[in-house]
């Protein structure tokens, strides 16, 4: 796993509908990898579609997919005291952002997310969950006029998080969901783009966090028979979680889902992926709880229907200013991705 590149990808700022910086990085890396311009399409939504032409047509047309966007906040109003009101882009808990350092707007102005001090809260307020309406972003200005010279409604507020490795092989950063998946796709393209044996399609898609919007458009354009989605998924393996509530766990390997809140995954693909892991000594696990969802939910019913598989790295504190994964799990996902790249286009025999 290339930690330096994961650092770079996670540090980039690109929420739903504002994926420009991440897309620019991907396009530059595709060029460096020798992918011809004729093989790359950027559609009207901003999806990056890559078609690698090989020596042969695969038995099954396969698309590998990951999403470019991350959760963030959006400025909704400039207040009289110079602070900013905001809402969430994607599913974020208000409690998770209090006190966080942030970057605001295209100039990435430094700010802090604030709320009423705890000693000013009423007894009732202390028992209520945090709400975005009670939060504000402080960029250090003293009036609305001074703030208006720097920020406008619609500007994005990103979490200012420095990636780090720590503890027992752990890694922390913002936007692991889904810059990790983007990294997996880049790894596959770099390894197999030159002298490719089979035609293969890749999709770096937009606006997953606000309703899987880019993935459906991409799948309708590519018309794959099989799609593999690389993601980060919730690990709730915390002291107060037990049984299925833990969902999946750090350190137990790649997560291969058979069902989630949006998708029932193809059984033959699930069996193929788990068999690849067992045969090659790759640690793997599945989700213990039917929850969440990813771009498979939109890809599955595109065109005449697509058989889907999801491979995810287990991730604590998903959709928060900082998330945590275990590097051994990331490496398991990468190993499995390479095996799927080699096998799904040639010797996969699974039928419905």
Enumerate the active-site residues: 208
Residue-wise DSSP of 110-172: EEEEEE--GGGS-HHHHHSPP-GGGEEEE-S-SSHHHHHTT--TT-EEEE----EEETTTEEE
Torsion 255-256-257-263 (CA) sign: positive
Orientation of helix 327-343 relative to helix 176-192, angle to 10°: 40
Residue 306 is given by DSSP the state: -
- Tell me which DSSP letter residue 91 carries: S
User: Max Cα separation, the chain?
Assistant: 70
Under a CB-based contact definition with an 8 Å cutoff, are residues 308 and 299 in contact? yes
129-160 burial, b at 16+ Cβ within 10 Å, e below that, comes to eeebeebbbbbebeeeeebeebbeeebbbbbb
Distance between CA atoms of residues 33 and 22, nearest Å: 17
Give dist(CA 202, CA 188) in Å, integer.
Answer: 9
Burial zone of 32 (CB within 10 Å; 0-12 exposed, 13-18 middle, 19+ buried): exposed
CB 99 within 8 A of CB 124: no
| Strands laid side by side in the 254-256 sheet | 40-42, 48-52, 200-205, 62-67, 226-234, 307-315, 254-256, 284-285
CB contact at 8 A, 289 and 245: yes
For the beta sheet containing 170-173, the strands, ordered from the edge strand earlier in sequence to the opposite edge, are 164-166, 170-173, 323-326
């Amino acid at each position: 796993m290339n930690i330096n590149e994961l650092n770079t990808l996670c540090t980039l700022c690109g929420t739903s509908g504002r994926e420009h910086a991440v897309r620019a990085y991907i396009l530059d890396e595709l060029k460096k990898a020798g992918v011809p311009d004729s093989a790359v399409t950027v559609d009207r939504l901003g999806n990056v579609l890559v078609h690698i032409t090989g020596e042969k047509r695969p038995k099954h047309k396969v698309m590998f997919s990951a999403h470019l966007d991350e959760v963030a906040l959006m400025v909704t109003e400039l207040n009289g005291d110079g602070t900013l009101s905001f809402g969430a882009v994607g599913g974020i808990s208000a409690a998770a952002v209090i006190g966080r350092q942030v970057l605001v707007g295209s100039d990435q102005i430094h700010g802090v997310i604030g709320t009423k001090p705890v000693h000013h809260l009423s007894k009732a307020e202390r028992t209520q969950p945090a709400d975005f309406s009670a939060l504000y972003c402080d960029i250090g200005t003293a009036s609305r006029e001074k703030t208006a010279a720097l920020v406008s409604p619609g500007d994005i507020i990103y979490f200012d998080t420095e990636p780090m490795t720590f503890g027992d092989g752990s890694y922390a950063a913002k936007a692991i969901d889904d810059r990790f998946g983007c990294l997996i796709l880049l790894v596959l393209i770099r390894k197999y783009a030159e002298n490719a044996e089979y035609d293969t399609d890749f999709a770096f898609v937009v606006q997953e966090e606000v309703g899987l919007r880019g993935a459906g458009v991409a799948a309708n354009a590519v018309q794959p028979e099989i799609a593999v989605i690389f993601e980060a998924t919730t690990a709730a393996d915390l002291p107060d979680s037990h049984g299925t509530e833990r969902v999946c766990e750090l350190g137990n390997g790649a997560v291969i889902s058979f069902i989630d809140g949006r998708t029932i995954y193809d059984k033959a693909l699930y069996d193929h992926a788990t068999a690849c892991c067992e045969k090659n000594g790759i640690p793997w696990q599945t989700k213990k709880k039917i929850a969440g969802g990813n771009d498979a939910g939109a890809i599955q019913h595109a065109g005449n229907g697509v058989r889907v598989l999801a491979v995810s790295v287990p991730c604590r504190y998903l959709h928060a200013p900082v998330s945590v994964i275990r590097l051994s799990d990331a490496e398991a996902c990468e190993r499995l991705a390479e095996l799927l790249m080699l096998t799904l286009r040639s010797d996969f025999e699974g039928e419905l």
